[in-house]
Structure 1
Amino acid sequence: MLSHLRPTLVIGLGLTVVTGLAYPLAVTGLAGTLFPAKAAGSLIERDGRVVGSSLIGQSFTADGYFHGRPSATTAPDPADASKTVPAPYNASNSAGSNLGPTSAALAERVKGDLATLSRENAGPAVPVDLVTTSGSGLDPDISPEAALFQVPRIAKARHLPEERLSALVTSRIEGRTLGVLGEPRVNVLALNLALDDLAHP
Structure 2
Amino acid sequence: MTLTSQLRASAAALTLFTLLLGGAYPAITTIGLQTLSPAAAGGNLVTGGNGEIVGSRLLGQTFTAPRYLWGRPSATGSSPYDASASSGSNLGVNNPTLIDAVKARVAALKAADPGNTASVPVDLVTASASGLDPDISPAAADYQVGRIAKARGLDEAQVRTAIASATSGRTLGLFGDPRVNVLAANMALDKLGQ
TM-score, scaled to structure 1? 0.89
Query: Higher mean Cα deviation, 29-38 or 127-136?
Result: 29-38
Please say if residues 165 and 188 of structure 2, whose CA atoms lie closer than 8 Å, have aligned partners that are also in contact. Answer: no
Deviations 1:117-152 (A, max 9, x none): 234341321111101101111110001111111001
Q: CA deviation at 1:102?
A: 2.8
Secondary structure in structure 2 of the residue aligned to 1:182? coil
Separation of aligned partners in 2, 1:173 and 1:42: 16
> Could you tell me which residue of structure 1 aligns to residue 159 of structure 2?
165
Q: CA deviation at 1:44?
A: 0.6
Structure 2: any 5+ residue segments left out of the alignment? none
Query: Higher mean Cα deviation, 165-174 or 11-20?
Result: 165-174
Question: Of 61, 70, 75, which aligns to 2:73?
Answer: 70
Q: CA deviation at 1:170?
A: 2.5
Please say if residues 123 and 149 of structure 1, whose CA atoms lie closer than 8 Å, have aligned partners that are also in contact. Answer: no
Greater share of strand: 1
Deviations 1:9-33 (A, max 9, x none): 2112211211111101111111112
> Could you tell me which residue of structure 1 aligns to residue 118 of structure 2?
124
Separation of aligned partners in 2, 1:120 and 1:95: 28
Q: CA deviation at 1:163?
A: 2.0
Question: Of 136, 139, 142, which aligns to 1:148?
Answer: 142
Question: Of 16, 35, 38, which aligns to 1:36?
Answer: 38
Structure 1: any 5+ residue segments left out of the alignment? 75-85
Secondary structure in structure 2 of the residue aligned to 1:199? coil
Letter in 1 for 2:182: V
Alignment of 1:77-156 (within 5 A): 86-121=78-113, 122-156=116-150
> Could you tell me which residue of structure 2 aligns to residue 198 of structure 1?
192
Separation of aligned partners in 2, 1:142 and 1:6: 57
Separation of aligned partners in 2, 1:172 and 1:164: 13
Separation of aligned partners in 2, 1:199 and 1:126: 27
Q: CA deviation at 1:36?
A: 1.4
Give percent identity, aligned residues only. 51
Question: Of 1, 9, 12, which aligns to 2:11?
Answer: 9
Q: CA deviation at 1:54?
A: 0.6
Separation of aligned partners in 2, 1:29 and 1:157: 46
Separation of aligned partners in 1, 2:165 and 2:188: 10
Q: CA deviation at 1:5?
A: 2.6
Within the alignment, does 1:53 sit opposite 2:56 as a pair?
A: yes
Q: CA deviation at 1:177?
A: 1.2
Deviations 1:36-95 (A, max 9, x none): 122111111111111111111100000000000000113xxxxxxxxxxx1100122212
Separation of aligned partners in 2, 1:129 and 1:197: 26
Separation of aligned partners in 1, 2:44 and 2:69: 21
Letter in 1 for 2:11: L
